[in-house]
Structure formats: structure tokens, C-alpha cells
Amino acid sequence: MILDGKCPSGPLHEKWDRRKQELRLVGPVNKRQYKIIVVGAGLAGASAAATLGELGCNVEAFCYQDSPRRGHSIAAQGGINAAKNYPNDGDSIFRLFYDTLKGGDFRAREANVYRLSMVSNNIIDQCVAQGVPFARDYAGYLDNRSFGGAQVSRTFYARGQTGQQLLLGAYSALMRQVRSGTVTIHPRMEMLDLVIVDGDAKGITVRDLVSGDIKCHAADAVCLCTGGYANVFHLSTNAMGSNVTAAFRAYKKGALFANPCFTQIHPTCIPVSGEHQSKLTLMSESLRNDGRVWVPKNKGDKRLPSEIPEAERDYYLERKYPGFGNLTPRDIASRAAKDVCDEGRGVGPGGYGVYLDFEDAIGRLGENTIRERYGNLFEMYERITGEDAYKRPMRIYPAPHYAMGGLWVDYNLQSNIPGLFVLGEANFSDHGANRLGASALMQGLADGYFIIPYTISDYLARTKPGVVNTGHAEFRRSIEDMNASVKKLLSINGRRTVNEFHRELGRIMWDYVGMSRSEDGLKKALSIIPGLRAEFMEDVKIPGSGMDLNQELEKAGRVADFLEFAELMAQDALHRNESCGGHFRVEHQMPDGEAKRDDENFRYVAAWEFKGINKEPGLHKEPLSFENVKPAVRSYK
Amino acid sequence: MNLNLFVWRQKRTDEKGAMERYEAKDISPEMSFLEMLDMVNEGLIKKGMEPIAFDHDCREGICGMCSQVINGIPHGPKEKTTTCQLHMRNFRDGDTIYIEPFRAKAFPVIKDLIIDRSALDRIIQAGGYISAHTGGVPDANAVLIPKEDAETAMDAAECIGCGACVAACPNGSAMLFTAAKVSHLAVLPQGKIEAARRVCVMTEEMLNEGFGNCGNHYECRAACPKGIEVKFIAKLNREYIKAQIGMK
Amino acid sequence: MRFFRDTVGRKIVIAVTGQIMAGFVILHLIGNPLNPYPVKLPDIGFLKQLSRVILLLSFIFHALFGVQVAVENRAAKPQTYVVKKRLRTNFAAENMRWSGVLTAAFIIYHLLWFSLPKAGSGYAVTAVYSGGLTALFLHLYHGIASFFQTIGCNSERTIPVVERAGKGTAVILFAGYIFIVLLSFIQETLR
């Protein structure tokens, strides 16, 4: 099937306004009749729930955390992009649009990305009005910094905690609506199923993580704002609880999953220190401005870095990419690190790490300057590793960070299931094959504050409110199914823990569906994942019962979904026989190691349809047309 | 290294709990505290026992989900560090470690080390916001804010809402948490408009939720993983007085 | 009135009344007839009566709200820790409720001792006075500095200074009063 993104016609800059004119509205009195479910309370979820509540809808907001203030958007450090052009350095909506599209290696929709750039400015205004304490200059104006993939300074920031401050802004708006009675929050609840009645999304089934009760909630529309799936790699920069469950269960109910193989690996994270590792911590990429990356020239060199003479060091980025040196783009730097470690030249425990050395920079600029620039990062590094990076080089290694892929949505953020809307990282729409820094926050808030309020009312205007309640047979069936699946997991009572399976899956994904992928590797992954999944269903051990707080059971449900989702991801990666952005197929590369796109055959969105477990998913294509820009070779040289 | 753990185990809110002893063996100093507990839990699961339930999520010190009072200190012995970022190199082989949940009347224990902190959300609901509508706001640079004020607001806004201040406070008061939000918004021109009402309703909600009164012990500051200063409590008090005497 | 129900309102009442009484404690030391170097304070009948009324009201409000707040605080922390480390607070701050009760009892004893015919031996009275003054010292050790924080007159820079000054004042007051008590005890014993 050929999918239609339903983008509005007309010139690029008029598209969104045109669409807004076409969209139907619901009168303020009638809005009260409508109930909307919002799942997830990160930037997209909190901003959507708050805004829809303010407009007068009845909103039921769900999150698995104990408070909606803890969504993983909170961990974003760097900043948020906007085309304000405050520094007068030549920025414009078009330029932000172009940079984002190019950064995504021309695998996103023009219309979506342009709209994102348009509303980026409203986001900054909104956040300032909410009291987000963005950095300012001495005259009191907002300050900007530059970020990767752009030649202008368009990133707004609040120290190293921009995500936190933006989320707390959205959270406070949400809390205000809770007080006014338009939004009800349901923390410590995990969505297990999407309920579809007569073809439309009409509710969800959730498990109360405290009591264990499985219950249904009916509504007139459902918004999934449930984040990304980087935890399919087991170790990632995501939160421990970040999962694919909500999106994947929607997929199993008929929603299409688009471009699942588009995942981003961040080059500068603190390396794994041992088998016990539970997550990876990101260090700002800005460190590469002053640090030099190297490994020993000889395999298995166990000497301290200070004992390795200059002649026996391999500054491999400077050697391989003399033009860009240590500042090569994220994906290239990540792959190069993996390559030298795979050769056995990695450093630190386990051998999966490379040095990021500040000795030269300290010599050139003095320790104080380095402290001023990166003091907080050096502190964080010391807290985690116990090492003083002023004295010895940091060790870094790439880590899975973000999922560009997600549930397929049209221009209105509606999935192929009417009434199911998908926002933020959970959808696939705006970042193509690679996301630029400081753009995730922008997209989450754009979707929640400024897009969904318009597009969802169009759907509501076509829907009679409150037509189904949880007494409907579909809801009863969903509860039965979910109870059965929980019961099944608990009854296995095998020998291995959930973590052991997750770790094993992560290793498969990292080795074969990670930074560089090959046909053989992907086929290998596809051949072993089903076996691991079968073993999980026979040998996993989950203690306790389903009728109270049971964290192992929560994890088991998520890992079970990752085990199925992993196959879809590998399938997509195998099918996409080109390299683009974060998806790197070793068969397709430029002489300098850059990704080699195949626009002739793969200039489309791959949206997958669930056909049953152990059955090949069905592929639907949404062709991408570029009317305003010409897809070029993504080069930063 | 090997450690002796005494951990609070409690099945549910309405059941009695007790400290139970566990051994943590072959712990690497590179592990985080929570990874150490993960390992203990893996052992318990394999033995068919219920693992220790504890809250955690981002494991990078920002979400505020992890709690735990470790050897009598919320978030453990390392200053300005959350439990998830506390590493085992801060302990020695053979150490005995006591792990308890955050305790306060307003934070009932749900299970083991997991507590219910929704009372903090309700303090924010009472008035911890600027009532800005979505859309229809002026340009971000329309109101200038002195750099110093923006920095002060940010100092207060760094609060992660973990509740360590309440756990540390001998009176179970949430004053530092409340003061951080009151101060963050009262410093900014956008927030001044509602400042008087905000400080009154938030402190009132704090008492209604069963938190105690501030006794100026400053234990909150010492336990705060983000180092929120008690000067913000003075600021809250100032805002309260201004509200009472009708001063702008 | 809402002020008297609010957590900050009541704290302000406690702080202000406490500081009024602390002020009296200072004046009382300076102008004490047993002080070998007394400073003559102006003796105006009207002012004296007014100050007595203010002190009495301060005492009542301080005690009433103090007890109320202490009861609430105890209720807010129903379960204690098996292991608890003290980070920044101190013995004096943690025991304000007890030092407060003892100080109140001591003040009543002190007023009765001076207004009723003298009873008891020198040793007993000296012991009671030393104990009472210790309780007062502990109360002021936390109370004086705490006042500035409660009325919002504190910043990052002033907090350590105010704390040291408050504690210092408490030490000086304690030393002064104990000196008088011991002096009169020695004089009495020698006589």
C-alpha cells in the first residue's frame, strides 16, 4: 500500500496555515463532552495534556513514573533550537528547516519539518512566559549557543539542564490544569494495550503498578507520547524504564511502525565499566571541541595513558579524517571508535573505550579555561569513574541515544488508526534518519503545545463524544488478554532473570543492528532473536505475584516487547539496502566513510504492518518528495 | 568487596516492615549503588525470593525518582549526589550499610524502599506555576531579565523534586522544596504577578499534606543532591511577609 | 486570622516573640542588680508596665504556638530512622521543644523565687539556676540566629555570619548569667 502523509498543498510556508484553515473546530461548550487519553508525561505528553486541558477537554494523563515531572525529557542537557535569529547571524525558519532536513539525511517530510521550524519560535516565547530560566546575557536578553550541524547560534539553553527546565515548565502547566479539574493524572500506570472499537482508537488498558490491577479507560481519542526505544540495546542513555511497550502494542493492534531501524548512537558517553552496567551516561558533545581522541597503536597495550609515548598513540580521527579531525560528525566518530575497539586497541576495563585527551588543550589554554568550559562535565565524569580528567584522559565510548523511527503518523500526527495520535519521540515524523542536537526538545513541545490542539479537534469534530464506555466487549476482551499475558509470564518460573535476557538481546542488537550493519550481520540477528524470545518464554523467572507492586514483572513485559520489536528493527535495517544518517550499511559507504544514500530506490518512509508473531511484517511505503530543496550528499566538510 | 546490608522490607503500606540482613558479595567499586542493589536482587530472584523494591529511573541524577536513606543520610554519604550516582568506591570492603526509605507522614511507604511522593505534586498544583495560556504570549525578549536574576531563578529551579529535604528534615517539612519553587518564580518578572497568592497557597497545601513546619535546621540543604540553598527559605518567608502586608 | 494558622505566620510569631524575650534576657543581664558592673537602665513606671505586658504576651504566644508547632512536627515524622546521621543541625536545634519547656519552668521558678519568701539551700538553688540557664542557653543557641532566617532577613552571605553571631550571643549571655549565679553562690558560701 502506498501511504499518504496528507500534507497540505501550496507553498511550503503557507502549508500549515492552510491546514489550520481546513481543520474543523469544536466549540468551547462541546469540548467538555470529549475525553482524551494522553499516555506519557515527557515534553510531548505534558505539553499536550496541559494544552488540551486548557482548551476545555477532559484529559486523562498516564505515566509509569511516580510523578509526571520525571519523564526522560528531563535528562536532555544541551538545549532547544529555534529560528529566532536573535544573534543576527543569518538564521531563518528556512535555514532551520534545511539544516534539520539535511541532518536527517533527507528521509523526513518537507512539510512536517518546515512546520516544526515555524513553531520553534512560539515554543521559546511560551517557555519564557512559563518562567523557564533560560540563560541570558548581561543586558537581560536571551543567550544562544551553537550546536552540531548548524552554522548559526540558535540553541537556547538553561545551564546543562535545558530538558529539565522545559519539562518542569510543561509539568507546571499540567499541574495547573490538574488543579482546575480538566486533567486527571494517573501516575505509576503502564499502558498495556490499545483498544480499538469499530476501527477507531477508543481507549487503553493499563496496569496499576502499585496494586497490580489491570483496568480500562475509554476516551474519544488517544495520544501516545511514550518516547523512544533505544533500550532495545539494553544499555543506552535512556532511563531504565523507557520502553517500546505502548507503541509496540499499538503496532500489534494495527498501527504502522515507521523506520524502526533509524536509531542514533551518541559518540561521547562514559564507557561500560563491567557486566553490572545498567545504563550509560552521556557527556556533552562539546567536549570534542578541545579534546583529542586516541587509542594505543598496539593491541592490548595495558600501560597507563601517561606511560604511552606520543609515537605509540594513534589519534585515529585526526589520521583518518584530517579535514575534520576530532570534530567529525556523530555517526562517523561513533563508528571509528567501534572499529578501533573491535581491533583490540580499546582502553579501560573491558576494552571498549577510547581516550579523549585534554592534555594539549590544558597546555595551550590553561586548566582554568578548561574548568570554566567543562567543569561540570569533568565533575560528573569523576563522580562516575572516580578519575580526574584534568590529570588523565577521559575514556569515552558511543551509546544508543535516540530513536528517530516510531509509529507512522500523517501531517496531523494521526496514525493510520483514526483517533490514535502519536507525539514526540514516539512518532517517526520529523528527524528522518538522524536527529540534530537540540531538536528533540523542539519537536516534543511543538507537537504538544502547537500542533495537536489543532489537529485533534478536527478528529473530534467528526466524532460523537462518549459513544463507547469500558463496558464494551472490546474493552472486556482487552482486559482478559492482558490478564492472561501477565499470568503467562508469571507462570513460566524458569531459571534466568529478566535482566539476563535483556543483556543478551542488547548484545545481539549492538553487534548486528548497531552502528554499522551488514547483510550477514542482520540476517544473523534475525536468525537468533526468535530463539532468544522462545527461550525467554520458557525460562524466565519472575518472582512474586501480579497483584501488587512487582518491578520484575514490569521489566519482563517490557523486555518481552523488545524481543519482538528487535526483529522488526533488524528486518527494517535489512530491507533498507542503503546507508543514510544513523543507519549505516557497510555495503554502502563513500570512500571517506560517509553514509551513501540511494535516493533512487529508498527515498521513502518504510512503515511496517503487524501480521502476527513469527510472521514477516507487511511493508507500506510513503514516498518522500522534495519540492523545495534538492537532496544533496550530506557533507559537513 | 563484600558488604553487609540491612534493608527495610515492607510488603505494603498497611503492613509492618522490618530491617532485614543481606550479603552483597563481589561488589566492584565501579558499580553504582543501584547497580549493587541490582546484583543483590538478581541473587534473590535466583533463590526464589522477592527482590528489594526501590524507585529509580534515569540513573543520571536528574529525574529525582531514586530515594533511599543510606547509613542515615538521604541519597547516601557523598555530598550533592543522588543515590543513582553514588558509586561503591565510596564504601569499603566489609562495611555495613543501612538502607531505609525516605520517612515522613506525607510519604507513606508503598513497598520496601518505595514511597508515595504525590504530596509534592499537590503542592505544585496549589500554585507552583505561572498561569500562562498556551499561545498568545509576548516575544521571548519582550521582557528583559537581569542575568543575575535569571541565574538565581535557575539556582532554585534545579530542584529535582526527590524529597530528600523532607526525608532529612527532623520535622518532615517540605519547606526547601516549596521555597525552591516559590523563589524560582518570584525572582522572575513573569512570576511576580502571582507571587503573593502563590506563597500563601503553596505553604498552606504543604501543611494540609501533613508535612511539618520548618525549624531552620538546614538538614535539607545538607541532604539536597542539587545543593539548593536555604537562602530560598528566607526568600519564601520574605515573600510571605510581603504578601501579608500587601507589599508588591 | 489566617496568619495565625499559616506555617510561616506562626513561625514569625514564634520568632518575633522569642526575639523580644531574648532582648529582655540581654537587658536583664546588663541591668542586673547582682551584676557587679550594672548599667543603670532608665526607670520609667509606664514603660516598665508596658514592657511587662509585652513580655507576658510574648511568653504566652511563644509557648502556645511553640507547643502547637512541636506537636505538628512530631506528627509529620511518625517513624524515625534506624540509623540517622546529623548533617548540619545540632543538639540545641533538635531539642528546642525540651529546652523551651525547661526554660519556661525555670522562668516561673525564677519569678516565684524572687516574689516568694526564699526557701531551699544555696546548693539546690544554684543547681536549679545552672540547669535553667543551660536550657535557656540551648534555646538561644538556635533561636537567636533562627529569627533572622524566619523573618526572611538572610542571604547566602549572611547565613554563616548570622549563625555565628547568634551562637556567640548565646554563649556570652550564658557566661554572664552563670558568672552572676556562681558569684552569688560563692559569696553566700563564704559568708
Of B11, B51, B114, which has the smallest distance from its Cβ to A543's Cβ? B51
Distance of CA A383 to the CA centre of its chain: 26
CA atoms of A409 and A420, how far apart (whole Å): 9
Of B73, B104, B236, which has the smallest distance from its Cβ to C77's Cβ? B104
Render pLDDT for A42-57 as a digit per residue (tens, 0 to 9). Answer: 999 999 999 999 999 9
Tell me which residues of chain B, numbers 11 to 50, contact chain C at a CB-CB cutoff of 8 Å: 19
C-alpha cell at A228: 523512544
CATH number at residue A502: 1.20.58.100
Domain containing B26 equals 3-110
Whether A3 is in a domain gets the answer no
Length of chain C: 191
Whether A461 is in a domain gets the answer no
CA atoms of A506 and A502, how far apart (whole Å): 6
The residue to which cell 528487535 is assigned: A566
Active-site annotation holds for A330: yes
* Site from B47, B122, B129, B194 to mutate, A interface, most A CB atoms within 10 angstroms: B129
Of B98, B105, B223, which has the smallest distance from its Cβ to C75's Cβ? B105
Query: What's the whole-number mean pLDDT along residues A425-450?
Result: 96
Q: Do chains B and A touch (3 or more CB pairs under 8 A)?
A: yes
| Amino acid at residue number A565 | F
Render pLDDT for A70-95 as a digit per residue (tens, 0 to 9). Answer: 999 999 988 999 999 999 999 999 99
The phi-psi region of residue B202 (left if phi > 0; otherwise alpha if psi is between -120 and 50; otherwise beta) is alpha
- Are B44 and B122 in the same domain? no
Q: Which of A63, A266, A212, A247 is nearest to B57 (CA)?
A: A63
Query: What's the whole-number mean pLDDT along residues B133-146?
Result: 96
Q: Please tell me which residue in A19, A330, A345, A585 is annotated as part of the active site.
A: A330
Position A635 scores a pLDDT of 67
Query: What's the whole-number mean pLDDT along residues A537-560?
Result: 97
Query: Could you tell me the pLDDT band of residue A109, with boundaries at 50, 70 and 90?
Result: very high
Strands A394-403 and A221-224, bridge-based pairing: unpaired
Under 8 Å between Cβ of B47 and B147: no
Query: Could you tell me the pLDDT band of residue C37, with boundaries at 50, 70 and 90?
Result: confident
- Are B143 and B88 in the same domain? no
CB contact under 8 A, B71 and C88: no
The nearest CA of chain C is from the CA of B227 a distance in Å of 12
Query: Could you tell me the pLDDT band of residue B145, with boundaries at 50, 70 and 90?
Result: very high
The helix, strand and coil proportions of chain B, stated in percent and rounded to the nearest 5, come to: 40, 10, 50
Tell me which residues of chain B, numbers 69 to 128, contact chain A at a CB-CB cutoff of 8 Å: 78, 81, 85, 87, 89, 110-111, 114, 116-118, 120-121, 124-128
| Residue A593 pLDDT greater than 90, yes or no | no
C-alpha cell at B84: 543513582
C-alpha cell at A217: 479507560
Query: What's the whole-number mean pLDDT along residues A422-445?
Result: 95
CATH number at residue B17: 3.10.20.30
Strand partners, A468: none
Instruction: State the total domains in chain B.
Output: 2
Instruction: State the total domains in chain A.
Output: 2
CA atoms of A95 and A84, how far apart (whole Å): 11
Whether A70 is in a domain gets the answer no
Strands A221-224 and A420-422, bridge-based pairing: parallel
- Are B28 and B121 in the same domain? no
Whether A63 is in a domain gets the answer no
CA atoms of A209 and C51, how far apart (whole Å): 62
Phi–psi pair at A517, nearest 5 degrees:
-120, 145
Would an 8 Å CB–CB cutoff place B218 in contact with chain C? yes
Judging contacts by C-beta atoms under 8 Å, the chain B residues touching residue C83 are 71-72, 98, 100
Query: What's the whole-number mean pLDDT along residues B158-165?
Result: 98
C-alpha cell at A413: 500526527
CATH number at residue A273: 3.90.700.10
Strand partners, B187: none
Average pLDDT, chain B: 97
Strands A183-186 and A58-62, bridge-based pairing: parallel
Query: What's the whole-number mean pLDDT along residues A103-128?
Result: 97
User: Cα-atom radius of gyration of chain C, to the nearest Å?
Assistant: 18
Tell me which residues of chain A, numbers 171 to 200, contact chain B at a CB-CB cutoff of 8 Å: 171-173, 175-176, 178-179, 185, 187
Query: What's the whole-number mean pLDDT along residues B102-121?
Result: 98
Q: Among the residues of A133-270, which ranges form H helices? A: 162-180, 245-252
Of B59, B135, B140, which has the smallest distance from its Cβ to A142's Cβ? B140
- Are B106 and B150 in the same domain? no
Query: What's the whole-number mean pLDDT along residues C98-104?
Result: 97
| Residue A455 pLDDT greater than 60, yes or no | yes
Residues 6+ apart with CB under 8 A from A311: none
The nearest CA of chain A is from the CA of B67 a distance in Å of 12
Degrees to nearest 5, angle at CA A342 with A338 and A346: 80
Under 8 Å between Cβ of A172 and B130: yes
The residue to which cell 569499603 is assigned: B92
- Are B128 and B102 in the same domain? no
Position A320 scores a pLDDT of 87
Domain containing A535 equals 473-602
Neighbours of chain A (3+ CB pairs under 8 A): B
Residues 6+ apart with CB under 8 A from C71: none
The residue to which cell 554563616 is assigned: C160
CB contact under 8 A, A54 and B28: no
Position A65 scores a pLDDT of 98
Position C118 scores a pLDDT of 58
- Are B151 and B182 in the same domain? yes
CB contact under 8 A, B171 and C75: no
| Residue C120 pLDDT greater than 60, yes or no | no
CB contact under 8 A, B98 and C155: no
Q: Do chains A and C touch (3 or more CB pairs under 8 A)?
A: no
Whether A431 is in a domain gets the answer no
Render pLDDT for C5-28 as a digit per residue (tens, 0 to 9). Answer: 999 999 999 999 999 999 999 999
Judging contacts by C-beta atoms under 8 Å, the chain A residues touching residue B158 are 159, 161, 164
Would an 8 Å CB–CB cutoff place B234 in contact with chain C? yes
Query: What's the whole-number mean pLDDT along residues A454-480?
Result: 96
Query: What's the whole-number mean pLDDT along residues B201-228?
Result: 98
| Amino acid at residue number A2 | I
| Amino acid at residue number A268 | T
Whether A200 is in a domain gets the answer no
Position A256 scores a pLDDT of 98
| Residue C36 pLDDT greater than 80, yes or no | no
Would an 8 Å CB–CB cutoff place A70 in contact with chain B? yes
Position C116 scores a pLDDT of 64
The phi-psi region of residue A373 (left if phi > 0; otherwise alpha if psi is between -120 and 50; otherwise beta) is alpha
- Are B88 and B124 in the same domain? no
Query: Could you tell me the pLDDT band of residue B248, with boundaries at 50, 70 and 90?
Result: low
CB contact under 8 A, A130 and B132: yes
Whether A496 is in a domain gets the answer yes
- Are B133 and B65 in the same domain? no
CA atoms of A257 and A570, how far apart (whole Å): 13
Of C9, C85, C152, which has the smallest distance from its Cβ to B235's Cβ? C152
Position C31 scores a pLDDT of 84
Q: Among the residues of A151-265, which ranges form H helices? A: 162-180, 245-252
Render pLDDT for A492-507 as a digit per residue (tens, 0 to 9). Answer: 999 999 999 999 999 9
Phi–psi pair at A34, nearest 5 degrees:
-95, 140
CB contact under 8 A, C82 and B98: yes
Beta-sheet strands, E only, within A181-270:
183-186, 189-197, 200-208, 214-218, 221-224, 257-258, 263-269
Q: Which helix (H) or strand (E) holds B245?
A: none
- Are A365 and A276 in the same domain? yes
Domain segments of chain C as ranges = 2-190
Cβ-based burial of A30 (10 A; exposed 0-12, middle 13-18, buried ≥19): middle
Neighbours of chain C (3+ CB pairs under 8 A): B
Helix axes C122-150, C96-115, angle to 10 degrees: 130
Q: How many helices (H) and strands (E) does chain B have?
A: 9, 7
Cα Dmax for chain B:
64
The helix, strand and coil proportions of chain A, stated in percent and rounded to the nearest 5, come to: 40, 15, 40
Residues 6+ apart with CB under 8 A from A484: none
Q: Which helix (H) or strand (E) holds A354?
A: strand A354-357
| Residue B86 pLDDT greater than 70, yes or no | yes
Average pLDDT, chain C: 91
Of A51, A349, A386, which has the smallest distance from its Cβ to B134's Cβ? A51
Position A388 scores a pLDDT of 95
Position A263 scores a pLDDT of 96
Would an 8 Å CB–CB cutoff place A68 in contact with chain B? yes
Average pLDDT, chain A: 95
The nearest CA of chain A is from the CA of B217 a distance in Å of 28
| Residue A581 pLDDT greater than 80, yes or no | yes
Under 8 Å between Cβ of A465 and A34: yes
CATH number at residue B160: 1.10.1060.10
Render pLDDT for C60-70 as a digit per residue (tens, 0 to 9). Answer: 999 999 999 99
Concatenated DSSP letters of A369-407:
HHHHHHHHHHHHHHHHH---TTTS-EEEEEEEEEE--EE
Judging contacts by C-beta atoms under 8 Å, the chain B residues touching residue A277 are 35
Query: Could you tell me the pLDDT band of residue A200, with boundaries at 50, 70 and 90?
Result: very high
Length of chain B: 248
- Are A279 and A363 in the same domain? yes
- Are B131 and B233 in the same domain? yes
| Residue A376 pLDDT greater than 90, yes or no | no
